[in-house]
Amino acid sequence: MNSQPSLNVNEKKKPMNTIFFLLFLFYVLALIYVTLLAWNYGASLGPAGPGGRNYNITPFRSIYRIAVYSPTIIDPIKILLGNVVLFIPFGFLLPLVVRKLKFSIIKVTFAGMCVSILIESAQFLFTYRVSNIDDVILNTVGTFIGVTAIKFIVFLKRKIHIFVVKKQPQ
């Protein structure tokens, strides 16, 4: 007879759920800091100096300008890849925290796009940064990469079986 109480599946998952929730919470706080609170060298200077509000609602305009007119390759990499990488954790962690999403690529990507639109709107209304549709596009791509990665990991986990040999009680 086994003297240790057996844990059901939900009890085994609770520590991991807590870790995922804390990671997601830390990520969201960092996202808010980076996008709304920290000073950015790309902040809008406006037509009359600091404080002007700028926006871009033409898709791919700033991506094109950054790629063509940057003096070095470093700026486009930092700006473009930075916007993609910034949202990969969102796509990766959100389905682990909100189980109702069931790793739906469409729902998680849509949620990432909505959060990005919210951030860009807040940047326009409350900060002196450029609100940019291209950032929304790049952030959405990052979310898509993140959710696709976690969905692939879950797929592999289900397909790869690790056998554990238990000792039989004597």
pLDDT number for residue 10: 56
What does residue 144 show for φ and ψ, rounded to 5 degrees?
-60, -45
Whole-angstrom distance, CA of residue 35 vs CA of residue 38? 7
pTM score of the predicted model? 0.81
pLDDT number for residue 7: 47
Determine the residue type at 116: S
- 124-159 pLDDT, tens digit per residue, is 988 878 899 999 999 999 999 999 999 999 999 888
Which residue shows structure tokens 């959060």? 115
Shortest CA distance to 103 belongs to which of 88, 115, 93? 93
- One digit per residue, pLDDT tens: the chain, 170 residues? 455 554 454 566 688 899 999 999 999 999 999 999 876 655 555 444 445 678 889 999 988 988 888 888 898 888 899 999 999 999 999 999 998 988 899 999 999 999 999 999 999 988 878 899 999 999 999 999 999 999 999 999 888 876 666 677 76
Whole-angstrom distance, CA of residue 87 vs CA of residue 47? 31
pLDDT number for residue 1: 47
pLDDT number for residue 169: 74
Task: Compute the radius of gyration of the chain from its Cα atoms.
Answer: 21
